[in-house]
């Protein structure tokens, strides 16, 4: 495979990671919005979609790692760094949003208890 072909393949892989990571972040923030409205079932569904999108991005990343471990050296480009940044941000935001959803649920429960006093 020529260097140009390898860069084209890497570019496609990068866009796959960025796309799935962006999709994951979108689902995570939709989940947070649903939780703010007290729609925790919808929030949970969005988190599942978020997890699926993260998994797709992670599979692409793992495939790259396995190829490199098999001897196919990869050229690191700014696009690849950008893709990794998107994936790591999606993972971090997903975990923070999960905690925020738990807090929103607790706030709603406490508000309901106060109303019943």
Write down the catalytic residue from 20, 58, 82, 86.
Answer: 82
Tokens of 52: 């699926």
Cα-Cα-Cα-Cα torsion 83, 89, 94, 97, nearest 10 degrees, comes to -150
Tokens of 61: 């990343």
Residue 73 near residue 6 (C-beta atoms within 8 A): no
| CA 10 – CA 31 distance, rounded (Å) | 31
Q: Is 42 helix (H, G, I), strand (E, B) or coil?
A: helix
For the question of residue 86 being annotated catalytic, the response is no
Q: Which amino acids are annotated catalytic?
A: 82
């Amino acid at each position: 495979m020529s260097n140009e072909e390898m860069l084209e393949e890497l570019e496609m892989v990068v866009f796959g990671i960025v796309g799935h990571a962006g999709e994951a972040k979108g689902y995570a923030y939709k989940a947070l919005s649903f939780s703010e409205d007290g729609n925790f079932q919808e929030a949970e569904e969005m988190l599942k979609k978020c997890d699926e999108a993260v998994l797709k991005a992670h599979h692409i990343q793992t495939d790259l790692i396995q190829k490199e471990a098999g001897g196919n050296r990869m050229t690191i480009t700014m696009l690849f760094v950008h893709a990794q940044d998107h994936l790591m941000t999606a993972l971090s935001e997903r975990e923070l949003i999960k905690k925020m959803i738990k807090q929103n649920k607790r706030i709603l429960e406490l508000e309901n208890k106060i109303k019943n006093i």
